[in-house]
Structure 1
Amino acid sequence: MHLSPSRLRLLVVALLSVSFLGALDHTVVSTSLATIAGELGALEQIGWVVVAYTLASTVLLPVLGKLGDVVGPRAVFHGSLVVFLVASMLCGFANDMALLIAARALQGASSAGLQLMSQTIVARVTTPRERPKYMALIGAAFPVAILVGPVVGGVLTDYWGWPWVFWINLPVGVVALILAVVAVPHLDGGERRAFDVAGAVAFTAALTAVVLAVTWLPDPSNRTAALVATAAAIVLLVVLLVVEARADEPILPVRYFADRTVAAGTALSAIIGIGLFSITAYLPTYFQMAYRTSVTVSGLVPIATVFGMLTSNLLTGFLASRTGHYRVYPIVGTILGAAGLLQMALLPAGLPLGVPMLVMAGVGLGTGSFMSLIVTVVQSAAPPTEVGAVTATVNIVRQVGSTVTTAVIGAIVGVGVAALLPVGIDAATLTPQFVHAASPAVQEQIAAIYRDVFAPVFIALAATYGVGIVAALLLPRRTLSAEYDIVPEPDPVTA
C-alpha cells in the first residue's frame, strides 16, 4: 500500500512511540523489583514478575502473527494497545503478587502484539528497499529502552512510588493510541482461512514448558519441577510436529524454510539472542568480580555494547535502503561479533576497563548491523499474506534463544564459581561488597575464578557467531526491490 510521505512519517512516529512504550515496560521494572517485592511481601515470587511477562510475550508471537495475516495487522495492533493500557493500570493497582504476575502476563502478551504488528505494518506499507530504514528506526526502541529503562524505573520508584512504573504508560499510551488510530491505514488480511487452533494450543503449551524448564533449572530447589517441565516439553514438541504436519494452514510456516533467505535470516536472528542478548545480563557481575569495579562502573560495559548496537542498527538500515544491498552487513557483523567475544575470552587480567568496553562495543556494532535489517530481508522473501507469521518466526527464535541461553549461562556460572571457590567462602553469600573488602590475595583468587568460568562461555558464544558467519554467507546475492508488494484481495466467497 502506497502512503503519502507525510502520512508515512506520522505512521512511523506512531509505531515508534508504541514500540518504545512496549520495550521500555520490559526494562523499566528491573530497578523497582526489590521495592515491589518488599511492599507486597512476596520476595520468593519476585522472579515471576519478569518470567510471566517474558513467557506471555514469547508464546503468543506466532499466534498473533498468524492472526494479523488473517484479520489484518491494524486490528491486532489496536487491540494489543488497548489491552496493554488496561494491563498497565491493573499492574499499578495490584495489591498482592498473584494479581501483579497475572497483569504482567497480560502486559507481555499485548507487548508482543505491539512489537510484531509494528514490524508487519511497516512491511505492508513500504517497498523492500524503503523498509530497512524504517525498521531500523522502530528497532531502535529496544536498545534505547535498555539504556534509559532502569534509570526511569529508579526515579519513578524513588519519587512517585512503584505503581507509577506502570501508570506512566497510560498518558503516553493514550496519545500513542490516538496517533495509531489516525496513522495506521486499513490493511486487509489474506483469504479467510481456517485458523490453526490445534497448532496454536500445542505451540503455546510446548514453549511454556520449555521456558519454565530453563527458568527453573538454575535453582536447585526447583530441579524436580525443571525435570518435569523438560519431559513435558519434549512430549509437547512431538505433538506440535504431528499437529503442524497435518494442518492445512500451520501456525508455524515451516515450508518457507526451503527458501535460503528465510532459513539463513532466521538462523541469524537466533544468533543475536543466543550470542549477545544472553550474556549482556551477566556482564556487570563479571566486571564487578573479575575487574573489581563498583556496581555503577560495571554498568558502563553493557551501555557501551548497547550504544554500539544502536549506532550500527540505524546506520545499516539507512545504507541498505539507499543502495538496496544488504548481504555485506550480516557478514561483517557476525565476523565482528565472533572476533569480539573471542577477544573477551583471551583478555589478560589487570587491563583498564576501557579495553573490554571497547571490545564489547565492537560486538554491539557487529550485532546491530543486522539486528533489524535481517527482519526486513526475511519479510521480502515471504508472500505478503504470510508476512505476520514469518516475522513472528524471526522474532521468536531470537527470544527463545536468549531465554534458554541466559538460563544455561546462569547455571554454568553458578556451578562453576561454587566449585572453584576456596574453602571458607560460601557461594551463597559471595557479593561484590565481600570481594572488595577482602584481602588482595582473595580478590585476585576470585577474579581468576570468574575469568576461568566466563572464558569458555565467551568462546562458546564466539563459536555461535561463527555459525552466523556461515549463515550470512549463505544469504543469496540479491538487491531489495523498489516495488511495492501486491497483496491479493480476500476471496469474497470465503471471506
Structure 2
Amino acid sequence: MTLSRTRLRVLVAALLSVSFLGALDHTVVSTSLATIAGQLGALEHMSWIMVGYTLAATVMLPVLGKLGDIVGPRLVFVVSLVTFLVASLVCGFAPDLGWLIAARVLQGLGSAGLQLMSQTIIARVTTARERPRYMAIIGAAFPIAIVVGPVVGGLITDYWSWPWVFWINIPVGVVALVLAVTAVPRLPGGAHPRFDVPGSLVFTASLLALILAVTWIGDDALRPAAIACAVGAGVGILALVAIERRAAAPILPPRILRDRTILVCLGLSLVVGAGLFSVVAYVPTYVQMAYRTSATVSGLVPIATVLGMLVSSLLTGWLVSRSGRYRLYPIAGTALAALGLVAMALLPAGIPLWVPMGVMAAVGIGTGAFTNLIFAVVQSAASRDDLGAVTATTNLVRQIGAAVGTAVVGGVIGFAVAAGLPAGMDAATLTPAAVRSMPEALQEQIALVYHDVFAPVFLGLAAVYACGVVIALLLPSGRLSDEMPAPAAPVAGRQPV
C-alpha cells in the first residue's frame, strides 16, 4: 500500500512513540525497583518485576507475529497499545507485588505487539529500498531508552512517587493511539487464515521453560527447577516438531528457514543478542570495580556504546536507502565490534576512563551498522504473508541470544571473581562502595582481579562477533528493491482488517 509522504511521516512518528514507550518501560523501572519492592514489602521477589515483563515480551513474539499475518498488523497493533496502556494504569494502582507482577506480564504482552507490529507495518507500507531508513528511525527507540530510562526513573521516584513510573505512559500512549488510529492504514491479513493453536501453546510453554532454565541455572537454590525446565523445554521442542510437521499453517513456517538470506540475518540477530546485551549488562560493573568509579560515572561507558550504535544505525539506514546495497555493512560492523572487544581485553589496568569509552563507542558503531538493517533485509527476502512471522523470529532469536549470553557471562564472572578474591573475602557481599572504603593496596588488588576476569570475557565476546563476520560473509549480494510488496492472494470470505 502506497501512502502519501505526509501520512507516512505521521505514521513513523506514531510508531516511534509507541516503540519508545515499550523500550522505555523496561529501562525506566530499573532505578525504581528497590523503592517499589520495599514499599510493597517483597524485596526478595523484586526481580520478577523485570523478569515477568521480559518473559511475556519474549514468548509472545511468534504468536503475535503469526496473528499479524492472519488478521492484519493494524488490529494487533491497536489491541497491543490499548493492552499496554491499561496494564500501565493497573501497575500504578497495584496493592501488592502479585498484582504488580501480573500487570507487568500484561504490559510485556502489549510491548511485544508494539515492537513487532511497528516493524511489520513499516514493511507493509514501504519499499525494500526505503525500509532501512525507517527501520533505523524506529530502532532508535532502544538506545535512547537505555540512556534516558534510568535517569527518568530515578527522577520520578525521587520527586514524585513510583506509580508515576507507569502512569507517565498514559498521556504519551493516548496521543500515540490517536496518531496510530489516524495514520495506520487498514492492511489486509494474509492468505492463510488458520491459526496453529496447538503449536502456539507448545511453543510458548517450551520457550518459557527454556528462558527460565537459563535464568535460574546460576542460582544454587533454583538449580533443580532449572534442570526440570530444561528437560521440559527439550520435550516440548520434540513435541513441537511433530505438531508443526502436521500443521496446515505452522506458527514458524519452515519455508522461511530455507532461505539463505533469512538464515544469515537470524545468525546476525543472535550475535547482537549474545554480544551487545552482555556488554551493556556487565560493563558498568567492570568499570566500577576495575576503575574504582561511582555508579554514575560507570554509566558513561555503556552510554558511549549506545550513542555510537544510534549514530551508526541512522547513518547506515540512510546510506542503504540511497544505494540499495547492504552486504558491506554487516561484514564491516561485526569486524569493527570484534576488534573493539579485543582492544578492551588488551587494555592495561589503570588506563584513563576515556579510553574504554572510546573503544566501546567503536563497538557500538560496529553493532549499529547492522542491528536494524537486518530487519529490512530479512523482510525483503520473505513473502508478504510471512512478514510478521519472519520479523518475530528475528526478534525472538535476538532475545534468546541476550538471555543465554547474559546468563553465561554472568556465571563466568561470578565464579572467576569469587575464585580470584583474597582469602576470606565474600564476593556475594562485595559492593563498589565497600571496595572504596578499603585500604588502597586492597582496592588495587580487587581492581586487578576484575581486570583479569573481564579480559577473557571480552575476548569471548569478540569471538562471538568474529563468528558474526563469518556469518555476514555468507550473506548473498543484492540490492533492495524500489517496488512495493506484492499483495497476498485474496481468501474467499475474508475482508481487510
Settle same-fold status: TM greater than 0.5.
Answer: yes
Look up the match of 2:411. Answer: 411
Separation in 2, partners of 1:254, 1:456:
38
Look up the match of 2:423. Answer: 423
- The correspondence of residues 109-148 of structure 1 with structure 2, limited to 5 A, is 109-148=109-148
Separation in 1, partners of 2:183, 2:31:
34
Q: SS of the counterpart of 1:282?
A: helix
Q: 1:494 to 1:185 in 2, by over 3 A?
A: closer
Deviation per residue, 1:73-120 (Å, 9 max, x gap): 000000000000000001000010011000000000110000000000
Separation in 2, partners of 1:30, 1:437:
26
Separation in 2, partners of 1:28, 1:161:
13
Separation in 2, partners of 1:488, 1:229:
40
Structure 2 residue 400 is the aligned partner of structure 1 residue 435: no
Q: SS of the counterpart of 1:221?
A: coil
Deviation per residue, 1:40-71 (Å, 9 max, x gap): 00001111011100000000000000000000
Moved more, 310-319 or 245-254: 245-254
Look up the match of 1:104. Answer: 104
Kindly state the Cα deviation for residue 427 of structure 1 after the two structures are TM-superposed: 1.3
Separation in 1, partners of 2:301, 2:489:
50
- Equivalent residue letter for 1:443: Q
Look up the match of 2:282. Answer: 282
Q: SS of the counterpart of 1:65?
A: helix
Separation in 1, partners of 2:443, 2:160:
39
Separation in 2, partners of 1:221, 1:190:
47
Once the two structures are aligned, what percentage of the paired residues are identical? 65
Contact 1:189 1:490 in 2 (8 A): no
Separation in 2, partners of 1:461, 1:240:
31
Q: SS of the counterpart of 2:370?
A: helix
- The correspondence of residues 54-453 of structure 1 with structure 2, limited to 5 A, is 54-453=54-453
Separation in 1, partners of 2:179, 2:493:
34
Kindly state the Cα deviation for residue 192 of structure 1 after the two structures are TM-superposed: 4.1
- The correspondence of residues 34-53 of structure 1 with structure 2, limited to 5 A, is 34-53=34-53
**Which runs of no fewer than 5 residues in structure 1 stay unpaired?**
none
Kindly state the Cα deviation for residue 435 of structure 1 after the two structures are TM-superposed: 1.3
Contact 1:27 1:150 in 2 (8 A): yes
Kindly state the Cα deviation for residue 403 of structure 1 after the two structures are TM-superposed: 1.1
- Equivalent residue letter for 2:186: H
Separation in 1, partners of 2:229, 2:488:
43
Kindly state the Cα deviation for residue 283 of structure 1 after the two structures are TM-superposed: 0.8
Q: 1:456 to 1:253 in 2, by over 3 A?
A: farther
- Equivalent residue letter for 1:85: L
- Equivalent residue letter for 1:75: L
Look up the match of 1:4. Answer: 4
Separation in 2, partners of 1:494, 1:484:
22
Contact 1:11 1:183 in 2 (8 A): yes
- Equivalent residue letter for 1:272: V
Moved more, 428-437 or 41-50: 428-437
- Equivalent residue letter for 2:285: T
Separation in 2, partners of 1:279, 1:359:
12
Moved more, 229-238 or 118-127: 229-238
Kindly state the Cα deviation for residue 424 of structure 1 after the two structures are TM-superposed: 2.1
Contact 2:70 2:194 in 1 (8 A): no
- The correspondence of residues 17-28 of structure 1 with structure 2, limited to 5 A, is 17-28=17-28
**Which runs of no fewer than 5 residues in structure 2 stay unpaired?**
none
Kindly state the Cα deviation for residue 452 of structure 1 after the two structures are TM-superposed: 2.1
Kindly state the Cα deviation for residue 255 of structure 1 after the two structures are TM-superposed: 2.3
Separation in 1, partners of 2:34, 2:198:
39
Q: Which TM-score applies when normalising by structure 2?
A: 0.98
Separation in 1, partners of 2:181, 2:39:
38
Kindly state the Cα deviation for residue 449 of structure 1 after the two structures are TM-superposed: 1.4
Separation in 2, partners of 1:484, 1:273:
30
Contact 1:77 1:113 in 2 (8 A): yes
Look up the match of 1:469. Answer: 469
Separation in 1, partners of 2:192, 2:482:
29
Q: SS of the counterpart of 1:438?
A: coil
- Equivalent residue letter for 2:216: W
Kindly state the Cα deviation for residue 494 of structure 1 after the two structures are TM-superposed: 6.9
Q: Which TM-score applies when normalising by structure 1?
A: 0.98
Separation in 1, partners of 2:211, 2:17:
29
Deviation per residue, 1:335-361 (Å, 9 max, x gap): 011111111111111110111111110
Deviation per residue, 1:221-251 (Å, 9 max, x gap): 2122112112211211221222222222211
Contact 1:192 1:494 in 2 (8 A): no
Q: 1:286 to 1:3 in 2, by over 3 A?
A: same
Q: 1:299 to 1:494 in 2, by over 3 A?
A: closer
Contact 2:74 2:184 in 1 (8 A): yes
Separation in 2, partners of 1:188, 1:278:
39
Contact 2:71 2:193 in 1 (8 A): no
Separation in 2, partners of 1:463, 1:417:
22
- Equivalent residue letter for 1:17: S
Contact 2:192 2:249 in 1 (8 A): no
- When the two chains are superposed, the root-mean-square deviation of aligned CA atoms in Å is 1.1
Contact 1:279 1:409 in 2 (8 A): no
Q: SS of the counterpart of 2:268?
A: helix
Separation in 1, partners of 2:483, 2:220:
56
Separation in 2, partners of 1:346, 1:42:
42
Separation in 2, partners of 1:428, 1:140:
36
Deviation per residue, 1:462-489 (Å, 9 max, x gap): 1111111011111111000001111124
Contact 1:84 1:111 in 2 (8 A): yes
- Equivalent residue letter for 2:53: Y
Separation in 2, partners of 1:254, 1:102:
34
Separation in 2, partners of 1:34, 1:341:
32
- Equivalent residue letter for 2:183: A
Separation in 2, partners of 1:126, 1:79:
23
Kindly tell me the number of residue pairs found equivalent between the two proteins: 495
- Equivalent residue letter for 1:53: Y
Separation in 2, partners of 1:340, 1:230:
34
- Equivalent residue letter for 1:207: L
- Equivalent residue letter for 1:195: F
- Equivalent residue letter for 2:7: R
